[in-house]
Every structure is written in structure tokens, then in C-alpha cells.
Amino acid sequence: MYSLLDVMEMLDISERTARRHLKLGILKGKKESGKWNFSLEDVEKYLSHTVVVGVLKQKHVKDFYEYSKGVSDLKDLIMISKNIPKMSMSKTKEFSKRLGSIQGPMRFNMVSNSDSMNVLFYGTTKGVEEFLDIIKER
């Protein structure tokens, strides 16, 4: 089971967005003792919802565009994009947590396609090296 915070961290969405998606029925789960819980199936359905897919791809493209034009708050970092084989939700969560542990200023986005996942990573030289090491370990 995943908490609301888990879902927010995995997808890099705000609490406001997550709660709005709950209210609209885009994100479904069970509320127990005042806390939201989501099964793997709930999260996978959420990720495949057309609204969510569109928002994640739009964010991914916007970050890349702003970086390439030098107007991003990430412009002092190195950007690297890597396509990797699609993973199960639990492996994606583990992978996301590993990337999130990279030290220094950094940010990453992940967008799933039919059979692969594109990871857009921004970081320092050391952060990019760590990113590539994590990719190799997969």
C-alpha cells in the first residue's frame, strides 16, 4: 500500500493536485482512519489516466524547453536524458527514491511510454555520475 505522500513524491505532484484528482475521481484509493491509502493497482490506473499522462508529459517537455532556452532555474546544472525499460510500480518507486538520494542540487522527471520510460535528470557533474551509476546498476 502507498500513502498519499508516497504517490505525491513518486510523481512529483503537489498535495493540492493530488487532492483535486481524488475529488475528481482521477485518483482512487481508500480512506482509512483519516488517511488515504492506495494499492499498486490504484496507482497504475492513475498513471494511465489520460489527464495524468498529459500533465506529466507536458511538465517533462516544459522543463526540457526552458532548459534548452537558458531560462530554467536549472540552467547551471547538467541535463541528461535516458530511455530505460519500463519497470513495475514497486521498482519505479525504488528507482525514484534512489535518484532522490543523489546529493547536491538536482531534479528529475520520469515519463512512461508503452514499453519504456524516459528519465530527464538535471544535476551537478557529480550528480550526473551518480545518476549514470544508478542506471548501470539496474
DSSP annotation string for 36-75? EEE-HHHHHHHHHSHHHHHHHHHHHHHHHHHHHTT-STTT
Task: Tell me, yes or no, whether 48 lies in a domain.
Answer: no
Given a contact cutoff of 8 angstroms between Cβ atoms, the answer to whether 134 and 98 are in contact is yes
Task: Tell me, yes or no, whether 62 lies in a domain.
Answer: no
Task: Tell me, yes or no, whether 26 lies in a domain.
Answer: no
| Predicted TM-score (pTM) of this structure | 0.62
Partnered with residue 79 across adjacent β-strands are 122
Confidence label for 21 from pLDDT (cuts 50, 70 and 90):
very high
Q: Is 74 left (phi over 0), alpha (psi -120 to 50) or beta?
A: alpha
Task: Tell me, yes or no, whether 64 lies in a domain.
Answer: no
Domain span at residue 134 reads 73-138
CATH number (domain holding residue 96): 3.30.1370.10
The number of domains in the chain is 1
- Beta strand 106-112 with 35-38 is unpaired
pLDDT in tens, 58-100: 877 888 888 888 877 777 889 899 999 988 878 888 898 899 8
pLDDT in tens, 98-119: 998 998 888 888 887 778 888 9
